[in-house]
Every structure is written in C-alpha cells, then in structure tokens.
Amino acid sequence: MRILVTEDDADLRLAITTSLRGAGFAVDPAGDLPAADELLWVNTYDCAVFDRMLPGGDALGYVERKRREGWAVPVLFLTALGDPAQRVAGLSRGGDDYLEKPFLAEEMVARVRSLCRRSALPQPVVLRCADLELDTGRREVRRGQVLLSLTRTEFDLLERLMSEAGKPVSRKDLIACAWPDPPASNALEVAIRNLRRKLGEPQPVRTVPTIGYLVEA
C-alpha cells in the first residue's frame, strides 16, 4: 500500500512518515501542495494524508478540485481546526476521514489502514469535463445537471472519450469499446452524430481528422 503524506511541519511530517513506514506502508512525503501535485501526477496511491493548512493554502480546496476531476483516492485530513463546522466541511468537500491534532500515531495508522481497505474495493468512477458528468456506476450522463437519455452504445463511446479527455481516440478503439462484433461501416459516425445531438451546445465532441474523435478536457 502506498501513501501520500502532505504536511508542512518537517518534524511532524517525519513522525507521520516513520509511523506509517513502521506499519508496513510505502510513503511519499510532501511539504506543500505543488510537491503533492507532482507526486500525484507520477504515482498511484491507496490513501492520501493532508494537513489542512499548508503554505499554498487550505488543502480542502485542493482536494475538492481533485474530486471534481474524478480523483477517488481516500483522504485523511489532519488539522488543528477541530470545531464541528470544520470537521463537517472537511468531510463534505472531499475528505473521507478527519483527525484532530494532536493525535496518537497508532490511531492515525489505524485510520489510514481502514481507508486503504476501502480503496481496495471496486469504486464507480465519475468522469467530469466542464459541465458534462458521466457516472460509470449508475451509467448516467448529465449535462449541466440535466439527465440525458443515451443508448448503451452512445454511453460506451462517451465513457471512452471522457476517460481520455483532451486526447484523440482512434476510430478503431472506439469501435472496439462499443461494438462486440464488427458494425456497419458508418455505424460509428451515426452513433457520434446522435451523441452530439443529445449533448447539445457547446459541443464537447470534436472530430480529429484521419484519427478519430476527442472530448475537450
């Protein structure tokens, strides 16, 4: 299990890292949000531990933005902001658990282990691009909070495109994800045309000549 620890206090960061490593976790420490963001770009984590107040600002806003992008790693907030309103804010805006300072190292390790068990379970993914939201668990698509009625093929195509938002997906890959058997020669174009009509304007699905299609990030 790999853990990201973001804490600006060097002594506390070392203590947390040492406790988690002693419990058998692989740990990557970061002192601020830019360093955490860089680590998240290159590594996959089972749990992330964030101090609330960091040099770059409140980690709550950072985690909330990551959640809107579809980031699903469990988060434990560590903070001296212990009043009930702050705990509610932490849990309602992206946090999965909340531990007030000072705390026992054993309790922190136990909470991280519990969150890692939770992350090991398959979790539905919600993909978001601007005002377009696709829930893979419920197989629902919303545009500006309006529920859209898509066919299975249209949903599968949009899911593939949104999972690679900003990158072109080839016609071959789109056909493979949406049709178990080779479809008619123009089936992809017809399905994309119908999908675009249902998505409305501004149109998020763009044609990439000689390659395929993409959804704007």
Percent of the chain with pLDDT over 70: 97
pLDDT at position 80 over 90 = no
Residue 33: exposed, middle, or buried by beta-carbon count in 10 A (0-12, 13-18, 19+)? buried
User: What confidence tens digit (pLDDT) does each residue in 156-181 have?
Assistant: 999 999 988 989 999 999 998 888 78
Q: What is the mean pLDDT of the chain?
A: 89
pLDDT at position 122 over 60 = no
Tokens (6 digits) for 163: 């999972």
Q: Which residue has the tokens 């309103």?
A: 85
| Confidence band of 83 (pLDDT split at 50, 70, 90) | confident
Do the domains 126-215 and 2-119 match in fold?
no
pTM to 2 decimals? Answer: 0.56
Tell me what the mean pLDDT of segment 77-103 comes to. 83
pLDDT at position 44 over 70 = yes
Tell me what the mean pLDDT of segment 21-28 comes to. 94
Q: Which segments of the chain does DSSP mark as H helices, in order?
A: 10-22, 33-42, 59-68, 84-92, 105-119, 152-163, 171-178, 187-199
Q: Which CATH architecture has domain 126-215?
A: Orthogonal Bundle (1.10)
What is the rounded CA–CA span in Å between residue 214 and residue 217? Answer: 9
pLDDT at position 89 over 80 = no
Q: Determine the pLDDT at residue 57.
A: 81
- What residues does each domain of the chain span? 2-119, 126-215
Q: Determine the pLDDT at residue 82.
A: 67
More confidently predicted of 69 and 107: 107
Tell me what the mean pLDDT of segment 50-74 comes to. 87
Q: Which of 29-33, 77-81, 161-165 has the lowest mean pLDDT?
A: 77-81
Domain 2-119 falls in which CATH fold?
A: Rossmann fold (3.40.50)
